[in-house]
C-alpha cells in the first residue's frame, strides 16, 4: 500500500469564515483571529469532495491522519510535516469504566499527546504560508508538539509556560529545539506576552484558536471515531476541555461528514469535562451564558485543562448545548482516584485530564445523566508517563536475608 504522503491529492479549501459573524476570508493567506476577534473556521467545497472521495477509497488507504487529506487544509504535499501521526486505538476499560466504555488513547501520538494533531496541521500551514518564527503560550503539551514539528521544518519557536508547568514538559520543549521561558503567571498571562510580541511584528501568534488550522488537525479525532465505529458515532463523548479545540473540531467534523452523506444527523452528546478548580465553561453552561468569564485562581492537577479563559468559549458551549450534553466539573481527588483505578484495574495509565473524563463519566452514571448500556468514548489526551506519579519507595538488600513471604 502506498503512503498517504507520497500521493498528491486534490485539495478543496474554498475560504475561511469568522465563527461569530460569518464573514468570509480568503484562503491561502496568513490569518490570525477574525476582525471580530474570534476564531476563523476553514470551509471546503464538500460537494466536490463527495464527488471525488468515497468511504471505500478511504478505507483502502493507510489509517494515519493524512488519509483525510481531502478534508484538510494543506495544499502542497511537500509542505506536510510528519512524525507518524497514527490512528489512535479505542481501548476498553471494563473494570474501572464498564462494559460500554472505550478510551480513545491519544497518548500514542508523536510527542505523547493529541496536541500533535493540531500542531502538525498548523505547522504545515505555517510552512506553506511562509512563517519563519512562531511564539506560543502553553501548559506543556502544545509547546512540545510545536517545538518538535517546527524543528523538523526549520521554523524558529519561542514558548512561554506557567512556572509550575510539569518539569518534563518544560524540558521536552527545550530538548526539541524551542526557546522556552517559565513565566510567573497562568497560560493567559503567557498569552498576553505572545500577543504583545506579535503586535510588534516579532513573531506569529500560535495561541489556541488564534490561528485557523489547529482545529482542522484536531477535527481528525471526530473523523477517526466515525470510521472506527463503522460510520456510527458513540452515544456520548467525554472530552477534557481547556481551550476546547478538540471538542469544537469534532463537532465540525461531524457536520462535514453529514454533508458528505457518510453519517446521518444523529450526534453524540458532548460532555465538556473540566476540573472544579478551573471550570469557566461549566459555570457559563450552568448560568445559561453564551460566553464564559475568566476563572480566577485556577488550580488543578490536570495542567492541560487549566485554562481560565477560552477564545472559543461560545463554540464549546454551542456544541455542548446543541448535542444535548453538558459541561461537568470534577474535583482533583476524583481525578487522581480515577487515574489510579484505571491503571491498577485495567492496566491503562491515563493522564490526569483523561482521568477527569473517567471521573465525570462515573458521576454521570450515578446521576442518571448516562445509562450503563450507552456506548461511551472517553478521551485520554496524553500519555500518563508525562505526569508525576506516586512514589514507589521500597528497596531490597540483596546481601541480607530476604523475607520472601513479605514480597
Ligand X SMILES: *Cc1c(COP(=O)(O)O)cnc(C)c1O
Binding site for ligand X (CB under 6 A): 113, 115, 141-142, 208, 240-246, 304-305, 351, 353, 381-382
Query: Closest approach of Cβ 187 to ligand X, in Å?
Result: 10
Q: How far is the CB of 248 from ligand X (least distance, A)?
A: 8
Q: Residue written as cell 512514589?
A: 391
Q: What minimum distance in Å lies between the beta carbon of 60 and ligand X?
A: 30
Residue closer to ligand X by CB (options 61, 210) is 210
Closer CB to ligand X, residue 226 or residue 351? 351
For ligand X, the closer CB: 222 or 243: 243
* Min dist. Cβ of residue 199 to ligand X (A): 23
Looking at the Cβ atoms of 170 and 381, the one nearer to ligand X is 381
Work out how close the CB of 353 gets to ligand X at its nearest, in angstroms, rounded to a whole number: 3
Q: What is the CA radius of gyration of the chain?
A: 21
Residue at grid coordinates 450507552: 374
Taking CB atoms, the residue at the shortest distance from ligand X is: 304
Q: 113 or 176, CB closer to ligand X?
A: 113
* Residue (134 or 351) nearer to ligand X, CB: 351
State the minimum distance, in angstroms, from the CB of residue 228 to ligand X: 19
Amino acid at each position: 500500500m502506498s503512503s498517504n504522503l507520497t500521493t498528491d491529492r486534490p485539495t478543496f479549501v474554498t475560504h475561511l469564515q469568522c465563527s461569530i459573524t460569518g464573514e468570509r476570508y480568503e484562503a491561502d493567506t496568513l490569518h490570525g483571529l477574525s476582525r471580530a476577534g474570534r476564531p476563523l473556521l476553514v470551509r471546503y467545497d464538500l460537494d466536490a469532495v463527495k464527488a471525488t472521495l468515497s468511504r471505500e477509497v478511504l478505507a483502502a488507504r493507510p489509517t494515519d491522519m493524512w488519509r483525510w487529506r481531502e478534508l484538510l487544509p494543506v495544499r502542497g504535499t511537500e509542505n506536510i510535516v510528519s512524525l507518524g501521526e497514527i490512528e489512535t486505538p479505542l481501548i476498553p476499560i471494563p473494570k474501572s469504566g464498564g462494559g460500554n466504555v472505550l478510551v480513545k488513547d491519544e497518548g500514542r501520538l508523536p510527542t505523547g499527546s493529541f496536541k500533535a494533531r493540531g500542531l502538525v496541521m498548523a505547522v504545515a500551514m505555517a510552512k506553506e504560508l511562509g512563517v519563519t518564527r512562531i511564539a506560543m503560550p502553553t501548559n506543556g503539551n502544545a509547546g512540545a508538539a510545536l517545538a518538535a514539528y517546527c524543528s523538523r521544518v526549520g521554523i524558529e519557536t519561542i514558548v512561554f509556560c506557567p512556572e509550575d508547568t510539569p518539569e518534563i514538559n518544560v524540558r521536552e520543549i527545550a530538548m526539541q529545539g524551542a526557546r522556552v521561558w517559565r513565566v510567573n503567571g497562568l497560560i493567559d498571562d503567557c498569552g498576553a506576552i505572545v500577543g504583545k510580541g506579535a503586535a510588534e511584528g516579532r513573531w506569529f501568534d500560535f495561541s489556541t484558536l488564534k490561528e485557523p488550522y489547529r482545529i482542522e488537525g484536531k477535527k481528525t479525532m471526530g473523523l477517526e471515531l466515525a470510521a472506527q465505529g463503522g460510520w456510527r458515532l458513540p452515544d456520548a463523548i467525554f472530552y477534557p476541555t481547556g481551550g476546547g479545540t478538540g471538542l469544537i473540531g469534532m463537532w465540525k467534523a461531524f457536520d462535514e461528514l453529514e454533508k458528505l452523506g457518510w453519517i446521518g444527523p444523529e450526534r453524540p452528546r458532548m460532555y465538556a469535562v473540566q476540573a472544579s478548580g478551573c471550570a469557566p465553561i461549566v459555570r457559563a453552561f450552568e448560568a445559561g451564558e453564551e460566553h464564559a468569564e475568566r476563572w480566577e485562581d485556577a488550580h488543578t492537577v490536570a495542567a492541560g485543562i487549566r485554562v481560565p479563559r477560552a477564545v472559543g468559549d461560545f463554540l464549546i458551549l454551542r456544541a455542548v448545548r446543541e448535542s444535548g450534553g453538558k459541561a461537568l466539573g470534577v474535583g482533583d481527588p476524583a481525578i487522581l482516584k480515577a487515574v489510579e483505578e484505571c491503571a491498577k484495574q485495567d492496566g491503562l495509565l491515563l493522564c490526569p485530564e483523561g482521568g477527569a473524563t473517567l471521573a465525570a463519566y462515573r458521576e454521570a452514571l450515578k446521576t442518571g445523566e448516562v445509562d450503563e448500556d450507552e456506548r461511551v468514548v472517553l478521551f485520554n489526551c496524553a500519555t500518563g508517563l508525562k505526569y508525576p506519579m506516586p512514589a514507589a519507595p521500597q528497596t531490597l538488600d540483596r546481601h541480607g536475608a530476604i523475607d520472601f513471604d513479605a514480597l
